[in-house]
């Protein structure tokens, strides 16, 4: 039996206060006190999620890191020992074997190894660096649209469109079709939190108007995207040149890709395009949103960063974006894992078929691993955070996410130097998704610039 030898020495201490309530409005706004309680008193805890499914929440850094790399925890939802009452209602992506769901985050080796190898060439730091001028251009274009007005909602007008256009460009979705993607992705974000088995949004989002059933909204957008991607792959396959040209787009590369002489099926290529959009979109929206919010509410850190950017330095920007990922990262919980055999994590026995959710946001504030974990320190050096995961499913898009995050934050702070929040932080609403953590809106003001 594989042990978890790095589990921090302190045993869970008896709790002086009752367990905090999870998945409430207060929790969505600031989950960190609840995570501190869990780390200390119940570091591996069986928890009933709003969907009714019970999952183990792993909150300490050492346990989290090992669980992410533990191959006895499968990504394949077929391993879920699903209770009869939850059949079809768990919100676990892939449980219903939808066509686009056979992707990297839902599969294990050897299929995972084969598919990841096919696509990883496109995401090397060097390939991504070639994309830097385009990301800068997109960033400037979006800022141009609101710079003269003196105010903006940075989520809708900036953080949301930037990654979707960037990924569409990389994939090779023609510019004239990219606004359709923007609409489908918007629908997925709006309804996704409800359909993802996450918190009840009526409490987590303070009420608000709903349109249609959440699952219906997500299903419709996924269906539109699937239809479009299949057709695009088909069209590109028909007109694919014999040899790859310079800067060939990713979908063409995927079509061309062969592994031991075997081409990717159109279905696999569509699922891959879908996961790249899906994994690379809301995450980056939240990196820009949560990151800007953290900077605006930590004026000392923000002005240090602005001064260093004004001197043309990049070091603080680079460590700073990593720190923003640790401090309030976009992915609150890593995606679903299921025990394939009996195992023990942090002294807790886990039965085969049980779902395990690794709470990255809790692990990245663990005082056993990080000095002053609740302090934002953009210059933090010892910062092996888990914001991009760990092990074989480590974020494939990390170099692209870093590029987008660094470009977005540096350009905002340089072009709009007196950027400030237009509302009291208490008025901001956080999205109620299970996996992701991000703001619904981020209203800002600044001196208009021509
Ligand atoms: C996987 C975070 C941006 C593509 C992951 C995982 C995390 C993560 C935590 C692992 C999940 C798990 O093990 O359950 C982030 C964050 C991002 C970001 C914080 C932005 C700041 C992107 C971008 C792309 C991308 C821009 C691509 C365009 C992927 C893919 C996987 C993945 C394909 C699955 C890899 C695999 O299973 O082998 N990401 N991600 N991500 N990410 Fe990202």
Note the pLDDT tens digit of each residue in 124-163: 888 888 899 999 999 999 999 999 999 999 999 999 999 9
Please state the length of the chain.
450
Atom of ligand 1 nearest to the CA of 104: 37
CA of 385 to the centre of ligand 1 (A): 14
- What does pTM read for this prediction? 0.90
CA of 383 to the centre of ligand 1 (A): 18
Atom of ligand 1 nearest to the CA of 119: 33
Lowest mean pLDDT among 15-24, 232-241, 252-261, 397-406: 252-261
Pocket test for ligand 1, best of 104, 166, 395, 434 (most atoms within 8 A of CB): 395
Q: Is the ipTM of this complex over 0.90?
A: yes
Lowest mean pLDDT among 24-33, 42-51, 180-189, 286-295: 180-189
Ligand 1 shell residues, CB under 6 Å = 68, 104-105, 116, 167, 275-276, 279-280, 283-284, 287, 325, 329-331, 334-335, 387-389, 393, 395-397, 400-401, 405
Structure tokens at 60: 């300490």
Q: Please give the average per-residue pLDDT across 194-209, as a whole number.
A: 37
Atom of ligand 1 nearest to the CA of 287: 21
Atom of ligand 1 nearest to the CA of 337: 14
Pocket test for ligand 1, best of 283, 294, 325 (most atoms within 8 A of CB): 283
CA of 407 to the centre of ligand 1 (A): 18
CA of 395 to the centre of ligand 1 (A): 4
Q: Please give the average per-residue pLDDT across 11-33, as a whole number.
A: 86
CA of 68 to the centre of ligand 1 (A): 13
Nearest CA-CA partner of 376 in 443, 324, 303: 324
- The percent of residues in the chain predicted with pLDDT above 70, rounded, is 85
Structure tokens at 223: 């269906």
Per-residue b or e along 10-46, where b marks 16 or more CB atoms closer than 10 Å to that residue's CB: eebeeeeeeebebbbbebbeebeebbbbbbbbbbbbe
With beta carbons less than 8 A apart as the criterion, state whether 195 and 91 touch.
yes
Domains and CATH numbers, the chain: 95-329+378-445 (1.10.630.10)
Structure tokens at 84: 């009869």
DSSP 354-411: -EEEE-HHHHTT-TTTSSSTTS--TT--S----TT--GGGS-TTHHHHHHHHHHHHHH
Helix (H, G, I), strand (E, B) or coil at 50: coil
Q: Please give the average per-residue pLDDT across 397-408, as a whole number.
A: 96
């Amino acid at each position: 039996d594989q042990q978890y030898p790095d589990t921090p020495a302190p045993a869970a201490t008896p709790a002086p206060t009752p367990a905090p309530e999870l998945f409430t409005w207060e929790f969505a706004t600031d989950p960190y006190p609840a995570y501190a309680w869990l780390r200390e008193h119940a570091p591996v805890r069986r928890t009933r999620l709003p969907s009714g499914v019970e999952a183990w929440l792993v909150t300490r850094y050492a346990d989290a890191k090992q669980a992410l790399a533990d191959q006895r925890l499968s990504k394949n939802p077929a391993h879920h020992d699903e209770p009869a009452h939850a059949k079809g209602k768990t919100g676990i992506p892939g449980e219903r074997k939808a066509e686009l769901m056979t992707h990297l985050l839902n599969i294990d080796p050897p299929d995972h190894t084969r598919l990841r190898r096919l696509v990883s060439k496109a995401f090397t730091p060097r390939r991504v660096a070639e994309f830097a001028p385009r990301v800068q251009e997109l960033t400037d274009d979006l800022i141009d649209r609101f710079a003269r007005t003196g105010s903006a909602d940075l989520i809708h007008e900036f953080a949301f469109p930037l990654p979707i256009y960037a990924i569409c460009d990389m994939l090779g979705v023609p510019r004239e079709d990219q606004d359709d993607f923007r609409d489908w992705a918007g629908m997925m974000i709006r309804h996704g939190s409800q359909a993802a088995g996450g918190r009840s949004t009526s409490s987590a989002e303070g009420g608000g108007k709903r349109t249609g059933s959440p699952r219906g909204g997500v299903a419709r957008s996924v269906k539109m995207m699937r239809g479009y991607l299949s057709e695009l792959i088909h069209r590109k396959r028909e007109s694919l040149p014999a040899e790859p040209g310079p800067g060939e787009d990713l979908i063409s590369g995927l079509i061309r890709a062969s592994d031991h002489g075997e081409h990717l099926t159109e279905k696999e290529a569509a699922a891959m395009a879908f996961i790249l959009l899906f994994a690379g979109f809301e995450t980056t929206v939240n990196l820009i949103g949560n990151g800007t919010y953290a900077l605006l509410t930590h004026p000392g850190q923000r002005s240090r960063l602005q001064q260093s950017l004004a001197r043309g330095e990049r070091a603080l920007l680079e460590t700073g974006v990593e720190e923003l990922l640790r401090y309030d990262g976009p992915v609150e919980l890593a995606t679903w894992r299921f025990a394939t055999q009996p195992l023990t994590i942090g002294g807790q026995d886990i039965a085969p078929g049980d779902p395990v959710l690794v709470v990255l946001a809790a692990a990245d504030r663990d005082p056993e691993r990080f000095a002053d974990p609740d302090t934002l320190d953009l210059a933090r050096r010892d910062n092996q955070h888990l914001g991009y995961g760990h092990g074989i499913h480590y974020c494939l898009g990390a170099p692209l996410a870093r590029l987008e995050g660094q470009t977005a934050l540096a350009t905002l702070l340089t072009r709009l130097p007196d950027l400030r929040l237009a509302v009291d932080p208490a008025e901001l609403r956080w999205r109620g998704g299970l996996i992701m953590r991000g703001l619904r809106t981020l209203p800002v003001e600044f001196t208009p610039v021509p």
